[in-house]
Chain A
Amino acid sequence: MFSKKFNLIILTPNKYEMKAIVRYEQFILCENMLRVTKLIGSSTLITGNLVSCECAATNSLYSQIIRWKRKPIWLPTAKSKMFRVPVKPVIPKEDNDELQRLSNIYRTYMRSLRKYMIMIGKKNEIQFDHSVVEAAEAADFEKCSAINNEWNEEIADIRKYRLHKERTQRDVGNWWRMKNYKEMLAENQEKVEEEVRSVKKQAESFITAENIDQAIEEALTIVIDHNAAIDHDGNFYKGEYSDTKIDIKQERQLKQ
């Protein structure tokens, strides 16, 4: 009853194809929906092997029609087919002659083709012989190797030049660095010596336990005033400026 198998696989249908498909789908959908409803309750052998039930769905554009399971291979011949004698095909003589002729032609063509292929194979055997191929590979390798060596030499020259340049630059840099370092050391030494000289000079005026009495006496006699001021004209005033000094007590009294 459902021995027909439909496959509907058109991925990019055009306008006319679409129309045809839609029409076809509508037809199949109606038919199959009925069939599905009929079949679902009938047999597990049938329903268990539904490939896809998309035909019952609304979008059935890329659907496949239900495919029925055939007899499993391990089941014996059906009882109804057990004693069936297949009918021998009766081919008319004209048809048979024609088929024979076509077959002869086909066989001739195939034989010649086979022979031709064998001939090519033999040729190739000679052409792609192991020793020949090996020799060719060796020659190719030598050629490539020669080119590679040439490139290597070129690059080696460039590298040699670059390294030489870098070395000279480094040497020059080192020379400058050493020179600067020596200069810096000399400068530092000079600075230190200068400081030592100045400290030695200052040391003469240092106050120690011997001359402390004298220093205290001197300090008591001289009062130092660090107060100083400068105006916008750049005039410098030393000492406390007593005119502007506000007597807080007097001011308070005045306020009272």
Chain B
Amino acid sequence: MFSSDILIQISPYLWLTAGAFVVLALGLFVQNEKKPLFVLITCMFLLLSILSMFCIGDPVYIMNGLLLHDKFGCWFAVLLLVSLFVVVMMIPYQTKLVAEYPSAVLSLLLMSACGGLFMIFSNHLVVFFVGLELLSIPLYVLVGLGHHKGKSSEASFKYFLLGAVAAAVFIYGTALIWSSTSSMRIDELFEIFRSPLYQTLPKTFWFGLSLVVVSLLFKLGVFPFHFWIPDVYEAAPASINAWMSTASKIAVVGVLIRLFYMFPVLDSFEPEHVTSKWMITMGVFSIFSMMWGSIGGLYQKDFKRLLGYSTISHMGYVLMFISSTFGKSYDETFEVLFFYLCIYVIANLVMFLLISQSEEKQDVTVDNCKGLVTSHPVIALGFAFGLLSLAGLPPFAGFVAKFKLFYFVIGQGGIYLVIFAILSSIISVVYYFRILANMFLEDGHTTFQVQQEGRRIWLILFLAFLLILFGILPQIVQNWLF
């Protein structure tokens, strides 16, 4: 029944699931003190999954068209898995997160990665929903494991409640889409859209599609569905933040592009056209989330909360890009978007993983990094690279990424969007600069304490170094991808 071919195709999921169960089972027999063993096994399964990803080549529908395996999805998936790999490698052993329940945490992480993979490759709304839940439910749990007991539980509950509502909205939207088209496969919806049939689609279909998109925007955390981000980011353990701020973004962006590719291409801009209505809505959302993220971050004291706001505005840029890619295929948009996401992911990993090295001893706030450069120069350097890249200053990779993004959007006639994006960049530079000034320019004694100085810091520094390398030689990524 199962040919070996299909086995190869689904092996990435299998390795992740197997890994999750093996690690969980191992927790029953092995003492919690042997954390390196757990981490080693998790990393091994992740590596296997990443390697098996390279067997996926030409676009192919598998599982009766439930999943679509293609090159583009593959890159998103590899990015997702590599970022999990880095997170797992970097989780400090002393934190409560790993010290108390190593097997549970690691297996939850693997499961949510599996969910992310389902989302990226899904060709069917229900499979997508399963992936979404598989990604989110472990995150609800993991967020609650922060060291502030009350705050973490509150954030976890908040995240869960809102996430559940979003999931319900998604299901409702899917049902409406199914009732009006009798299909839930994305490629079949695509056929309908590209045929003249799409003009006869009932209102319920559009309502359903908007509900689906709303729940995706919720996961992405853009305006007006962004309220959970700062709270959850503040309370969650930083290692989990690193995973949360990359995984769900990568997965959702991969899907949104695929969904909006369905829309008919706009030859000339008619405000009454379906595509242009959607473009305007998404554009307005992106403007608001860029501005919200940059203005809201100005007065934040907590470092992670501030990064939450920064995430909102960065996802605003991504949404700005997506809003101008309606009807465009992956071929045109992939390179820009993937480069942007890569840089965003690397920068966020650097930031959160550096925070995770200290946070249980002492909350990391903007004020207590004063004079960091004198006590921990290497860590300060890592922070500086990450922040400057997030701020989009040359010669850091964030600049090239932003440049490509703006270039594409202006080419699509979105100069107004870009002007808002520039304004938001200028405002958000103020808070990035505030942290950098505290670290490098102010005198003072930092309370930042690194729990474990050691070789693992160099891994983060390697990532930080990538940020400058890709900024100076962006060709590397480009040549590698194509």
Q: Real complex partners, A and B?
A: no
